[in-house]
């Protein structure tokens, strides 16, 4: 079975189970609307949802790009400097003990209700996975590769850019795949705390007005976007790694 066929079959099964739950449990629409009612809300409010989705997509993509860039540079810096590892790594680990929900109000206070507080939230939530995955891969460079590079006269920077970084690209790609899943979470948390646009804001607004079908429609759009983002990043990473291997 192809990947597309497997995804389609899984989606059909999920919709069938959803409808069966609504029918057998006789759930009212304000508790759990059926797939048909949600699809109708999605169609009738397509322009509204598209406008809010565009804001969330922009927040996620910018946060993902910045998080990948900063995470990659941080991992290289940590791998290159024992002093940086001793000083910065404990702070990075400690930062993961702080719940992200606790940071969202602070970022909103500092950066306002616009895009940048949500971008910062997405960046923070993906920074550690990208940095950690890439750093671990950099530190696992085969020793005989490094010895061969030194025999050929390569110094520290050359060893880093020509041996350690290329060898660690699969680890960086793994971090990017995780980031593609986590970035929307950060943006939505930021929108829940304080926003006037975005899918997270629309879900809160719909819930407050008891439009549960609209809330589920926005949630499904977010889930589909996250799935497509992960698939796109995964495909880009595979092509990138294949090109690096053949190059």
Angle between helices 46-80 and 115-139 (to 10 degrees): 40
**98 band by pLDDT with thresholds 50, 70 and 90:** confident
Nearest-angstrom CA–CA distance, 108 and 114 = 8
Tens digit of each residue's pLDDT (9 = 90 or more) over 99-124:
878 888 888 889 988 899 999 999 99
Nearest-angstrom CA–CA distance, 165 and 168 = 5
Once rounded to an integer, what is the mean pLDDT over residues 186-208?
Answer: 93
Nearest-angstrom CA–CA distance, 119 and 97 = 20
> pTM of the predicted model, to two decimals?
0.91
Nearest-angstrom CA–CA distance, 128 and 70 = 10
156: exposed, middle or buried (C-beta count within 10 Å: 0-12, 13-18, 19+)?
A: exposed
Give the up-direction half-sphere exposure of residue 196: CA atoms within 13 A in the CB hemisphere.
Answer: 3
Output the pLDDT for position 1: 58
Lowest mean pLDDT: which of 86-90, 122-126, 213-217? 86-90
Once rounded to an integer, what is the mean pLDDT over residues 32-50?
Answer: 96
Q: Phi/psi at 15 (nearest 5 deg)?
A: -65, -40
Nearest-angstrom CA–CA distance, 46 and 50 = 6
Nearest-angstrom CA–CA distance, 36 and 32 = 12
| Long-range contacts from 92-97, C-beta under 8 angstroms, 24+ separation | 92/128, 92/131, 92/132, 95/128, 96/128
Per-domain boundaries in the chain: 35-246
Nearest-angstrom CA–CA distance, 245 and 28 = 55
Q: Fold for domain 35-246?
A: MetI-like fold (1.10.3720)
Lowest mean pLDDT: which of 2-6, 47-51, 105-109, 218-222? 2-6
């Amino acid at each position: 079975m192809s990947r597309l066929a497997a995804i389609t079959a899984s989606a059909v099964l999920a919709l069938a189970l959803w409808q069966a739950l609504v029918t057998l449990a006789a759930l009212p629409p304000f508790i759990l609307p059926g797939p048909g009612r949600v699809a109708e809300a999605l169609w009738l409010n397509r322009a509204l949802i598209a406008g809010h989705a565009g804001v969330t997509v922009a927040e996620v993509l910018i946060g993902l790009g910045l998080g990948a860039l900063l995470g990659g540079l941080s991992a290289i810096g940590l791998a290159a400097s024992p002093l940086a590892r001793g000083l910065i790594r404990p702070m990075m680990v400690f930062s993961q003990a702080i719940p992200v929900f606790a940071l969202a109000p602070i970022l909103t206070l500092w950066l306002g209700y616009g895009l940048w507080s949500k971008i910062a939230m997405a960046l923070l939530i993906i920074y550690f996975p990208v940095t950690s995955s890439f750093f671990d891969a950099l530190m696992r460079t085969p020793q005989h590769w490094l010895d061969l590079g030194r025999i050929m006269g390569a110094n520290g920077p050359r060893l880093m850019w020509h041996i350690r970084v290329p060898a660690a690209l699969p680890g960086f790609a793994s971090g990017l795949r995780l980031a593609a899943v986590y970035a929307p979470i950060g943006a939505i948390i930021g929108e829940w705390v304080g926003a006037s646009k975005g899918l997270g804001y629309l879900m809160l607004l719909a819930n407050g007005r008891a439009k549960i079908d609209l809330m589920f429609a926005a949630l499904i759009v977010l889930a589909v976007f996250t799935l497509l983002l992960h698939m796109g990043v995964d495909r880009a990473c595979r092509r990138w790694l294949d090109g690096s291997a053949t190059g």
